Amino acid sequence: MENPSRRRILSLSVALGLAGAANPAQAWASTGSVTGAGAGTGPEWIWDDMADPLMVSMLDNGHVPAINTAWGSWVNNNDPLPSGMPSEFTAYLQQVNRLPSWADPVKLARAADFNRRRDMYLFMLYGLGSGIMSTVIPREAKSVYWAAGGGDMQDRAAKTFTFGYDLSQLGAFRPTGQFVVTANKTRVVHAAVRHLLPQSPHWRAVADETIPISAADILVTFHSLGTYARRKLLDWKIPFPAADQEAFLHSWQVAIHLLGVPDEHIPQTWAAAEAQSARVLTPILAPTTEGIALAEELLGLTAQIDLGVTRGFLNEFVRYVLSDEVGNWLGLKRDYAAAALVRTAWPTYILFREGLSPIMPATFYMFDQLVRALGMAFLNKGSSGTTTPITIPTGNRVG
């Protein structure tokens, strides 16, 4: 049965004459998906027919606190579903708590090994690259800012980091791993936000959409993470064999599926992913009031960790991995000495780490400290070596 909210928006777009201008088939459908064929409905008009109505019921009937308490012990992929949850919620999890039939365990194992070998680069790219890029993705920045987590960005960033952290673990998709559970929790959180955020007058005043976090929005976020990270690794000339690239993409394909994106919109190859990213991510990047505030808070969290990493160094590393244009949008103050250091020392650092240079650069310690600062800022608020539990919100940011 079609989601009533989706049907309402589709009808409105036709009435306003927008359907032709933003033809979903032209914008998204492609034979380059994991199913080998496109669909007639573009992902900008797709939300989550399974999770959305369920979470409306859970929120409206006051079940969320009990769910948050019950699933605190549900961590590993092979953990039994916890007791103490409404029967319809348990029934939903029984349907989705599994890998897709097309998941390839050999590729997933190779992806896990790749993540282990390249974890430092991925950590930097996801944290200071993708994390800050998210603040210049207007819809994402506005949704994050005005949702409940926007009021406590350290907690919000830590929960977001949990997703990437669990995806990057060696046994992420194995029974003893944690990513399948993390992805299912994240999918439910998205559904809750879709119900809650439209009730926020603050979000409605700035949003250009009626319902947040469409399948298209999730794909845009994937491109700001996976597609972007692959591109930077290649730009930095880090050895990245074709088999590793294919495995890395496959892990993201499975992750996107677990978040509820229809398979027909998940890119099948990196060429398809790059083409999709060029159409749907690059053209929309822009500053917003909310995004500027989020970027300042995120960088401030990292700079507060007393490991000798200056705010000027952080600003310049962001400019290096994104662009000066993004840095200017976000008002990141220049530190030209740090800029020169980053641009000359980072390539040298890579050469040494990859065994292509016998000389350890003097900046080796600085970059390692930067990684530690990111981890301490976002791993459970720096209090331990564990990630922050994912919980379902029950409201929005107040102001």
| Amino acid residing at 181 | V
Phi and psi at residue 339, to the nearest 5°: -60, -45
Task: Answer yes or no: is pLDDT of 7 > 50.
Answer: no
Of 37-51, 177-191, 192-206, 250-264, the least confident: 37-51
What per-residue confidence (pLDDT) applies to 16? Answer: 31
SS3 267: strand
Whole-number mean pLDDT of the chain? Answer: 86
Please tell me the pTM assigned to this model.
0.88
Over residues 304-326, the mean pLDDT reads: 87
Convert the pLDDT of each residue in 216-245 to its tens digit.
999 999 999 999 999 999 999 999 999 999
Phi and psi at residue 147, to the nearest 5°: -75, 170
Confidence of residue 142 (pLDDT cuts 50, 70, 90): very high
Cβ–Cβ < 8 Å for 220, 137: yes
Convert the pLDDT of each residue in 267-308 to its tens digit.
999 999 999 999 999 999 999 999 999 999 888 877 776 566
Helices (H) and strands (E) in the chain, counts: 21, 0
Confidence of residue 324 (pLDDT cuts 50, 70, 90): very high
The 3-class secondary structure across 136-166, one letter per residue, is: HCHHHHHHHHHEHHHHCHHHHHHHHHHHHHH
Confidence of residue 320 (pLDDT cuts 50, 70, 90): very high
| Residue whose entry in the numeric block shows the structure tokens 């079940």 | 63
What per-residue confidence (pLDDT) applies to 377? Answer: 65
Closest CA to 185 of 258, 252, 265, 262: 258
Confidence of residue 340 (pLDDT cuts 50, 70, 90): very high
What per-residue confidence (pLDDT) applies to 102? Answer: 97
Domain boundaries, the chain: 103-284, 289-382
What per-residue confidence (pLDDT) applies to 250? Answer: 98
Over residues 310-330, the mean pLDDT reads: 95
Cα separation, 110 vs 245, in Å, equals 10
Residues in the chain, total: 399
What per-residue confidence (pLDDT) applies to 17? Answer: 30
Cβ–Cβ < 8 Å for 322, 133: yes
Cα separation, 88 vs 94, in Å, equals 10
Cβ–Cβ < 8 Å for 218, 16: no
Sign of the alpha-carbon dihedral angle for 208, 211, 127, 307: positive
Strand partners, 33: 267
What per-residue confidence (pLDDT) applies to 370? Answer: 78
Of 89-103, 164-178, 293-307, the least confident: 293-307
Residues in contact with 278: Cβ distance below 8 Å, sequence separation at least 6, in sequence order: none
Strand partners, 147: 396
Quickly count: other Cβ atoms within 10 Å of residue 236's Cβ.
15
Task: Answer yes or no: is pLDDT of 378 > 80.
Answer: no
Task: Answer yes or no: is pLDDT of 19 > 60.
Answer: no
Higher pLDDT, 199 or 305: 199
